[in-house]
A and B are shown apart, each in its own frame.
Chain A
Amino acid sequence: MTLHTLNKTPHESNALQDCLAALSDGDALLLIENGVYCAMPAHAELFTRLPGGVQCYLLQADVQARGLSDLNPEFRGIDYDDFVTLSCRYEKVVSWF
């Protein structure tokens, strides 16, 4: 199982689309940097058909930096320590940028 990190907004590049297409059952998705904008409610539809058991996270420091709130509740806020813990829990980390 894989931890996917994504650091682009949905409109910045095709990274989000490529990443979503590459998810397998049981993978995790972590939004970092500009990727946290993907959790804005307007994009919620994109995350309604994820493969089974995919956990969604976002880096809280990047959310706070950008003044975002009321984000998609599918995403759980985490810190850098959690990011490392997730990197250990999943077998590999794939970065989408």
Chain B
Amino acid sequence: MIFSLVITGAPYSTQCADTALRFARSVLQQGHTLHRVFFYADGVHSGSALASPPQDEFNIPQAWAELASEYQLDLVVCIAAAVRRGVLDSNEARRYEKDGHNLAGDFTLSGLGQLVEAGIVSDRVVTFGA
């Protein structure tokens, strides 16, 4: 079965980023396809490479990155929601003339079309909201 996930809650402020991650692991371990994970609204902060939680806490961006490299995941961060909130890749940093960029390597910025496309091709879309 083909799954896509939508995450709209911020990591650390809400539990939903963590719930989504555990759900994603189970989806993959059961041999289903995870077509895309789409980060929207405050969910975009899950793509920040600068997140630095204490050692004994869960590093959510890093956990996604590890899962992505193990299973070749498509982690898409909504570009409009992200740049507003200061989550930028190198292209956007250049466009907005910012000194730095912070989108973690395994994530890509793209538009809402990626969310709708995921809805069209996936058997199940599961939203993790705050």
Question: Considering only CB atoms and an 8 Å cut-off, how many residues of chain B contact the other chain?
Answer: 21
Cβ of A84 within 8 Å of any chain B Cβ, yes or no, is yes
Q: Would you call the interface of chain A mostly helix, strand, loop, or mixed?
A: helix
Cβ of B127 within 8 Å of any chain A Cβ, yes or no, is yes
A7 and B1 contact, CB distance less than 8 A: no
Residues of A within 8 A of B15 (CB): 7, 33-34
Cβ of A97 within 8 Å of any chain B Cβ, yes or no, is yes
Residues of A within 8 A of B30 (CB): 81, 84-85
List B residues at the A interface (Cβ < 8 Å): 1, 3, 9, 15-16, 19, 22-23, 25-27, 29-30, 32, 124-130
22 A–B contacts, CB within 8 A, in A order: A33-B15, A33-B19, A34-B15, A80-B22, A80-B25, A80-B26, A81-B29, A83-B23, A83-B26, A84-B27, A87-B3, A87-B126, A88-B32, A93-B124, A93-B126, A93-B127, A95-B126, A95-B127, A95-B128, A95-B129, A97-B129, A97-B130
